[in-house]
Structures are given as C-alpha cells and as structure tokens.
Chain A
Amino acid sequence: AQSVTQLGSHVSVSEGALVLLRCNYSSSVPPYLFWYVQYPNQGLQLLLKYTSAATLVKGINGFEAEFKKSETSFHLTKPSAHMSDAAEYFCAVSGNTGGFKTIFGAGTRLFVKA
C-alpha cells in the first residue's frame, strides 16, 4: 500500500523568502514521487518527479525536491518565493504495482505575502 502525508495544510511565506513544503511517503515498492501545482479551477501541472535517478530533482519555476529514503521524505523547496507561486501543491506517490495508481496527499496551500 502507498500513502502520502503532507505536513501543513497552509504555509505562508513572504515574497523572496524560502519555500519549504513537506511530504512524507509510505510505499512497499520503490516509489515514484511527484509534486503537482494546482491553480483555482484548473487541472494539475507537474512541477517535478523522482524516478530513482538523481535524488535531487529540479523542476519548473525554480522548484526542486530531494528524495531521502532514510527519512521517507520528498520535500519541495524554492529559494525565493514569488507572488505567482501562490497555489495549492500536491505531493503524490506511484509505483509499478496496483495498476500504476497515483495516490495524492491532502495538499498544501501556499500563501505568498508582499
């Protein structure tokens, strides 16, 4: 079975500050891990994904995430927040079993203050 826990339903940062969104996963098989962003009334956009290659994954819009197996974590970071980063962020896990289902975390709403 696979699951994802996102710590913090809301995160607020000032513009220019570091963004850190936390994600811990549970998986009985080697996981594929994803971060998605969702703007209001829109679908999901892939920010980045981990597929067992490099543990530090760089994505779009300056985001990156580090896979830490020992901590079962895949936290998302961005050095300097922009107002346009305000959105809902979802961490997700998938594997090569169970019909390739993707399981999503509860989501974290990022607020960026001017």
Chain B
Amino acid sequence: DAGVTQSPTHLIKTRGQQVTLRCSPKSGHDTVSWYQQALGQGPQFIFQYYEEEERQRGNFPDRFSGHQFPNYSSELNVNALLLGDSALYLCASSGGRGETQYFGPGTRLLVL
C-alpha cells in the first residue's frame, strides 16, 4: 500500500517564476492538506482540499493556490515566487473521520 507521494523531490526556481507541486494521497484517503516548513521551523498550514473544494485556509497570500482532482490527488501552485518561499512543502492526506494526517516526503523548493 503506497503512502503519500509527492513530486518533484527538489526544485530550483528564480524570483517571479511560478511553480506547481503535486501530491497523491494514501490509498483510501480523500482529504489533502498542504504545509510549508521553513528551515528550522515547524510546518505551517497552507490549505486543505476535500471533494475538490478548498475547505480551510491558513494565513497565506493568494499567490498560493491549489486544486484537487477527482482521483483525490492535489496540486499546490505558487505564483510570483519570493526568496521567502524557499521551504520544504509537505502534503498530508487523511480519510474517513479524518483525525490523523499522514505526510509525504515533501518537495524542497529553493528560490534564487
């Protein structure tokens, strides 16, 4: 049973560019949450998708947007990249009653 997968593993972009990160949830899970983890910090909640709709959103600007597909996979898009967007981006999936979120390995984004 595959766990949560994310792609790519690493990414280098320059300021002003746009990036798309991808996540496939654990089998049987229908909810995907995205987190940003800056170096030396705990993860910060970006948003959560359920039934292809954004259900919750953290304190992130509109440059951060997402999408969930009918197969429950999800994308995180970041526009107009800033140096401060450099971080590890984690995807987590949950299902059923949704109490427990299981995390993928993350995508490390470096913005130059």
- A and B part of one assembly: no
Name B's A-contacting residues (CB within 8 A): none
